[in-house]
Amino acid sequence: MWYDTLVCNCVQTTFLGVCNMENENQKKVILSGIQPSGELTLGSYLGAIKNWVKLSDEYECYYMLADLHSITVRQNPADLRRRTLTQIAAYIACGLDPEKNTIFIQSHVPAHAELGWVLDCYTMFGELSRMTQFKDKSAKNADNINAGLFTYPALMAADILLYQADLVPVGEDQKQHVELTRNLAERFNNRYGDTFVIPEPLVSKVGAKIYSLQDPTKKMSKSEENPKGTIDLLDEPAVARKKIMSAVTDSLGIIQYDPEHQPGVSNLLTILSSLNGESIESIVERYKGKGYGDFKKEVGAAVFDFLSELQAKYKEILSSGMVEQVITEGNEKARRSAHKKLMKVKKKVG
Ligand code: TYM
């Protein structure tokens, strides 16, 4: 199994939440999203999108572009508009088939903001104060600690609960928000009767957290200031290879998976294993007695090949004009589905 957490909801829902009645005898539901707050990175791909692709056949999948979330930090409007289209093209280039998945834009489905408000009223100040991401982001944006940044996990809960999602595939850093979503759903169900399905986070075993190439103790992030630490999916492949070659390692000279003492080497092992499908143990075995130079060359080549193939597809998709149609159809389907749940919630709260 490539993931840690896949707990069937059937047993749990008996006690905690609704059985997915609208989806009874149907496929289980998946929902996830990414903020268009910067170019997609290798971290977003390996931690999230790569896993989304694997789920398409087995589940009913909703994948959104979380643009409402991204305005919690100041964005350049023109860049945000451009990225809204290019990120959807990137989703498809990464392998998300629009025939099998509902791909949509969060702000085009008004039910998200509406349910987000309702859930704000059931989320406690103390709970939101404990969110690690809020603490990190408010430290980074000390001049703009706005209310949206604070209440963002309740909006994320609305994203998930509107679609009756059973599973939420995310990287390690988003797990805490899914846990909060579970608490909110249970709280609401206890007060008003079965309304929401209780979702489970789905976190991959390898690649759940890809670290900065320049500071391998920090997450590789869209908003990292040092571009050498991050690989964007749209980086020139040769530039990306160079970034791998100059990735920070250590002076031990041994290739082994030891995130505590060798975070840089361990990060590169994770990247290679996620890209070529070989286990970390097997890579370590191959590099016994060898130096970092050859190892980095192989990681660099894997990244180069991956980006070259992805970008060729991406350009084709953008020039085909299919993105607009995918968005129109996805938004429509998402709106229909979300509206039903929102009406139920409104009725329940009076
Ligand atoms: P965001 O946009 O920060 O990240 C999107 C997804 O990519 C994963 N990820 C990573 N995984 C491994 N290593 C990394 N370096 C790395 N960087 C990012 C994240 O864990 C995430 O899965 N609030 C969310 C977006 C969101 C959402 C949702 C997700 C909004 N509503 C509902 C799931 C369900 C966010 O900011 O992710």
* pLDDT tens readout for residues 258-296: 999 999 999 999 999 999 999 999 999 999 999 999 999
Percent over 70 (pLDDT), the chain: 93
From the CB of 271, is ligand 1 less than 6 Å away?
no
From the CB of 158, is ligand 1 less than 6 Å away?
no
From the CB of 230, is ligand 1 less than 6 Å away?
no
pLDDT at 63 over 80: yes
Higher pLDDT, 274 or 19: 274
Tell me the C-alpha distance between 41 and 223, whole Å: 10
Calculate how far, in angstroms, residue 175's C-alpha sits from the geometric centre of ligand 1. 9
From the CB of 159, is ligand 1 less than 6 Å away?
yes
Calculate how far, in angstroms, residue 81's C-alpha sits from the geometric centre of ligand 1. 19
pLDDT average, residue stretch 77-103: 96
From the CB of 209, is ligand 1 less than 6 Å away?
yes
> Which residue's alpha carbon is nearest to atom 26 within ligand 1?
33
Q: DSSP character for 211?
A: B
Tell me the C-alpha distance between 268 and 46, whole Å: 12
Confirm if 162 and 111 have CB atoms less than 8 A apart: yes
Ligand 1 pocket test: pick from 170, 176, 181, 222 the residue with the most ligand atoms within 8 Å of its Cβ: 170
> Which residue's alpha carbon is nearest to atom 27 within ligand 1?
33
pLDDT average, residue stretch 37-47: 93
| Residue 305 confidence (pLDDT) | 98
pLDDT average, residue stretch 229-236: 97
How does pLDDT run across 164-188, given as a tens digit for each residue?
999 999 999 999 999 999 999 999 9
From the CB of 180, is ligand 1 less than 6 Å away?
no
How does pLDDT run across 299-340, given as a tens digit for each residue?
999 999 999 999 999 999 999 999 999 999 999 999 999 999
For the record, the structure tokens of 70 come out as 């991204």
Give the dihedral sign, CA 140/129/44/278: positive
Confirm if 242 and 191 have CB atoms less than 8 A apart: no
pLDDT at 239 over 60: yes
| Residue 226 confidence (pLDDT) | 86
| Residue 25 confidence (pLDDT) | 55
Residues with catalytic roles: 137, 219, 222
Cross-sheet strand order for the sheet of 200-202: 101-105, 60-65, 29-34, 167-169, 200-202
pLDDT average, residue stretch 3-25: 42
pLDDT average, residue stretch 91-115: 97
With tokens 């789905």, the residue in question is: 202
- Band of residue 238 on the pLDDT scale cut at 50, 70, 90: very high
Whole-number mean pLDDT of the chain?
Answer: 92
From the CB of 105, is ligand 1 less than 6 Å away?
no
- Band of residue 13 on the pLDDT scale cut at 50, 70, 90: very low
Calculate how far, in angstroms, residue 156's C-alpha sits from the geometric centre of ligand 1. 11
Tell me the C-alpha distance between 224 and 210, whole Å: 13
Confirm if 222 and 41 have CB atoms less than 8 A apart: yes
For the record, the structure tokens of 175 come out as 């797990």
Calculate how far, in angstroms, residue 171's C-alpha sits from the geometric centre of ligand 1. 6
Calculate how far, in angstroms, residue 45's C-alpha sits from the geometric centre of ligand 1. 10
Q: What pTM did the predictor assign?
A: 0.91
